[in-house]
Amino acid sequence: MKREQQYFEESTSMKEYMDAMSQLKEQSFAIYERFELPEDAAFIEKLHNANVHILAITEDWCGDAMINNPIIRKVAEAADVEIRTALRDADTDLIDRYLTNGGRAIPMYLILNESGEVITTWGPRAPQLQQLVTDMRATLPVKEDPTFEDAQKELYENMRKQYVENAQLWSYVYEDFKKKVNAVL
């Protein structure tokens, strides 16, 4: 069985991944270009000095990856921490080690120490985004309803639009990631 470090070594950089995206690329780059990292020199320095690296398990069709990847990439770049990507669907053995409520939810970020051991994980969503998604899903008709598929498609489009346009959602991602990582550094 491959170790997480081996997946990291065999993976592509987050920059290369985002440059090669075929879905949600425009939205992802809109967030990347507009997200301004908060003035937080202490956290960035702490992350830089921790000698860690990050492996993101992701796919370019994922709305949560669309919002999270650009923000975590900015954090990694500011701290001069290498961040790479592994595609969830290319080898499900990796994501199956990091299930969320029994599911293969992405993105999932593995923070690895200098020995390649996972010291913490973060993902797939900040709690505030989870609440937003939960609240929005509660408005859907039951799955058996003939309008369910159209309503769900509209909901996801609305959610992606909010992810791109609402900078407050970006700060939730940043703050929750920071909290989780700070707890182990």
pLDDT in tens, 104-142: 999 999 999 999 999 999 999 999 999 999 999 999 999
The tally of domains found in the chain comes to 1
Q: Could you tell me the pTM of the whole model?
A: 0.96
Q: Which domain holds residue 95?
A: 4-182
Rounded-to-integer distance, Cα 113 and Cα 128, Å: 28
Q: Which tens digits make up the pLDDT trace of 5-48? A: 999 999 999 999 999 999 999 999 999 999 999 999 999 999 99
Q: Which residues contact 101 (CB under 8 A, 6 or more apart)?
A: none
62: left (phi over 0), alpha (psi -120 to 50) or beta: beta
Cβ atoms of residues 42 and 48 within 8 Å:
no
Tokens of 31: 């967030």
Per residue in 77-107, pLDDT (tens digit) is 999 999 999 999 999 999 999 999 999 999 9
- Domain of 15, CATH number, reads 3.40.30.10
The structure tokens listed for 30 are: 């809109």
